[in-house]
Amino acid sequence: MKSFLFSKAIINRNRIRFLYGLEEVILEPYFISRNKFGKKVLYGKTFGSNEIKIFEYDKMCNIKVFDFERFSPVIPIIPSIPIYN
């Protein structure tokens, strides 16, 4: 069930909210994977920061998808050609 909600949110670019341990998290989800121990994890950018974080499925509860809130993913742009004056 969690995978379905997260996949839908990733495809539609919807923010999600959930409890992670005792902390409330608002996240812009990017992708689902497994960590080195074989546990399912969700990667995403927390609301209000530019840091990508990883969250384990086992520690998430009370998941809410914000159907009417969309986001655009942050794509870092690094110049590949040095500019000389």
pLDDT score, position 75: 60
In the chain, alpha helices (H): 2-12
Task: Going residue by residue through the chain, which has 85 residues, state the pLDDT in tens, using 9 for 90 and above.
Answer: 888 999 999 999 999 999 998 999 999 999 999 999 999 999 999 988 888 899 999 999 999 999 887 777 666 555 555 555 5
3-state secondary structure of 26: strand
Backbone φ and ψ of 72, nearest 5°: -110, 135
Q: How many of the other CB atoms lie within 10 Å of CB of 58?
A: 10
Task: Tell which residue, 29, 76, 36, 77, has the closest CA to residue 53.
Answer: 29
Backbone φ and ψ of 62, nearest 5°: 55, 55
pLDDT score, position 18: 95
pTM: 0.78
pLDDT score, position 59: 94
- Domains for the chain: give ranges and CATH numbers: 2-67 (2.30.30)
Q: What letter represents residue 15's amino acid?
A: R
